[in-house]
Chains A and B, each alone.
Chain A
Amino acid sequence: MQWLMALEIDDDPISSCRLMNTFRRKGITIVTLSMAARPAGFSLIALVETPEAEVEHIFNLLRRTEGVYNVTYYRHEPAGDASFVFIDADANSSSVARFLQAFPESKLIFASQGKYLLEIPADRRPRATVPGIGEPEYLPFARVKTSVAHPALASKQAI
């Protein structure tokens, strides 16, 4: 099953190495992965495949990993009630433009290296009525969980 993992991590390269190692050890298949530099660290978004029974454990493991500020995970939701869309615009650079034309009030959550995550406003018309939105470069997701600031991880400023 496909999931989207979005993480905010500190700017220490060790933290991103630790994350990649966790993905490897837990047998998570990475379909696409993008990172973007932020003032206080990196944003990372990964489209992954892992069994549903494992994902909660992985979320909890990631959110308590040193160097990780925040984790959110999204479930692939082809049923139509998705509120997020992940766009892989590598193949077709007009994908994002077309989407924003249909949903001009969409909120950009992540953008890097041709990968975009957008939140569709709740009061917008159903996705299904937008021509072309069912194409493979548009992957609909629903947010499952986002981590709250973990007290044990309160002081993670880079040293």
Chain B
Amino acid sequence: MPKLFTGAEILLESLRREKVEVFFGLPGGSVLPLYDALYSSGLRHLLVRHEQAAAFAADGYARASGKPGVCLATSGPGATNLTTGLTSAAMDSIPVVALTGQVAAGVIGKDAFQEADTIGISLPFTKRSFLARSVDALPRVIHEAFKTAVSGRPGPVLVDLPKSVLMEKAEPAYPDSPGTDQRAKVREWRDEDMARAAAMILESRRAVLYAGGGVIASEAWRELLELAELACVPVTTTLMGLGAFPSAHPLSLGMLGMHGSYATNQAICHCDLLVAIGARFDDRVTGRISGFAPEAKKIHIDIDPAEISKNVRVDVALVGDAREALQALLAELKRQTRQGRVPAHSGRQQWLQRIESWRAEHPLTYDKYGHSVKPQYVIETLSHYAAEDAICAVDVGQHQMWTAQYWSFNRPRTWLCSSGLGSMGYGFPAAMGAQMAFPDRQVLAIVGDGGFQMTLNELATVAQYRVPVKIAIINNHALGMVRQWQEIFFEKRYCDTDLSFAPDFAKLAESYGIRGVRVDHRTDVVDAVRDFLSDREPRLIDFWVDPAENVYPIVPPGASLGEAVVEPPRVLVEEEEALDDLWAV
């Protein structure tokens, strides 16, 4: 007599075979059989306080580890609460497998209690959604879900699990190897296109490498470094690409785009060749498309053919995995260099000097000597004292951009950021997820006071499991980025961006059993940060920063990168009108 297992037991065994170490979720009626099986399974599960945090935590786990993150929610409201997190994962191509409970198969479509059309809801933001129709299909469904999440361009996959399927019994037939081991490769480029790309690099005199999240997803950072050094080409990264190239490297240009540095954006405006690697020409990167790299020929390396010429027309498209494409490009560059007997890096010193002069003209800077706590100073101090391999998760808004500008990025997979969707409330739970992937590393959640109020309920989770996340609140008592736009683009008509009615975050942390302090003097920042990072416990600092501080440079909406406002306007009253005209574009 064969041994029979419930669907719930088969599901958990399938997760184990996919090498899942931990997952994030919150129980409910339709997943009760699953939690019953979990009771004696030995698998690690983190009980979150809201399902959105489960999705963000799974995302943070995946970004930090490179392995698919897993989240679990019950049917109906549990499943719908996952949607923001899964949409964020889809926008940033993060492999997440979401498991959702569903009412029993026999009552699907009957508007049963806590029934929602989860599959229908999930279509726009999943690579694929499975409805597990029978217990026999479960091992194959889970295998396919993991394989799909990591294959090609990674992304979220959803598996909807009717309660009846979790309770049925079967003799499971598991696939031989994990789905994640069978990720399908993509290599569509033609050899002649690769040769043309290499020749374009050798012929260029003002080239820039523009690296996105695809470099990190494909683990192509070594090849990127080799290409930059071999050809002596400076590298700019997108928000998603931060960490793909060390920010201390002499060829590093930092981030480009709306809040990119003056030198970086000038380099884009004046380059004669732009090599985009795993990047998608996002509108926050390009500004006005017609003004984006107008003098440059463009090469685009991307695993997703649908990204080619979607926003910006390119001259050469190389569709494939970024790492394999860069390896092939390096080999071709070396071959052509040998044939032509010209070093790949020749003729670019003048270009690098020009970039250096732009850097000297308008460096990233702020007032370092005032009495108030400047948010940029807090970020620089945190970055300075954090461990070299510390992981940094952020929310969305001003603090996110200041961190992108002032944090020292030395390693890939240390930067967690809801970049495409721009979801507030991401940073804290994402940090929780990353900490579960790397329990021994320092993980910081740098969040705004607005975003933190969206997920502060997860203080209970980190307190319960003693997850040693370090929470740094950049508190300007406002929805800062929105306030900044109201100030600059809406004539200072501040409407509903004031968050001065808020809890005492330090005391709130204390109420959960987490040490919390407030810092509101510049001279206290260093000591507070050193103490904050000194132990292996969850901690919170509430930095009361200068509420008037804005993020600069800024490319106004509708403007090109060359039209960035590089520093706070110090204008006479009579000059304000002219400035208003500029910002009204």
Contact = CB atoms under 8 A, between A and B. Distances in A.
A121 B184 CA distance: 37
B130 A159 contact: yes
Given A57-B306, A150-B186, 18 more contacts: A14-B119, A14-B131, A17-B120, A17-B123, A21-B123, A21-B124, A56-B308, A56-B309, A60-B305, A60-B308, A61-B306, A64-B153, A64-B305, A67-B128, A150-B152, A151-B187, A152-B184, A152-B186
B151 interface: yes
Interface string A3-24: 0000000000010011001000
A151 B184 contact: yes
Interface stretch (B136-144, B361-369, B463-471): B136-144
Contacts of B304: 60, 64
A8 B414 CA distance: 41
Interface string B136-172: 0100110010011001110000000000000000000
B477 interface: no
A150 B187 CA distance: 9
B141 A159 contact: yes
Contact size range, A = 20 to 34
Q: Which 10 residue pairs spanning A and B have beta carbons closest together?
A: A152-B152, A60-B305, A61-B306, A66-B128, A60-B306, A152-B184, A151-B184, A152-B151, A57-B310, A18-B123
Interface of A: 14, 17-18, 21, 25, 56-57, 60-61, 63-64, 66-67, 150-155, 159
Contacts of A153: 152, 184
B185 A159 contact: no
10 contacts: A14-B119, A21-B124, A57-B308, A57-B309, A57-B310, A64-B306, A150-B186, A151-B185, A151-B187, A155-B147
Interface residues of B, number: 29
Interface in B110-141: 119-120, 123-124, 127-131, 133, 137, 140-141
Contact of A14 (B123, B124, B148, B309): B123
A66 B309 contact: no
B152 to A, nearest CB: 3
Nearest to A151: B184
A152 B153 CA distance: 9
Nearest to B319: A60
A51 to B, nearest CB: 13
Nearest to A19: B123
Nearest to B140: A159
Contacts of B131: 14
A25 B152 CA distance: 22
Nearest to A58: B306
Q: Pick the most buried of B137, B140, B186: most chain A CB atoms within 10 A of its CB.
A: B186
Q: Pick the most buried of B141, B305, B308: most chain A CB atoms within 10 A of its CB.
A: B305
B192 to A, nearest CB: 18
A25 B90 CA distance: 15
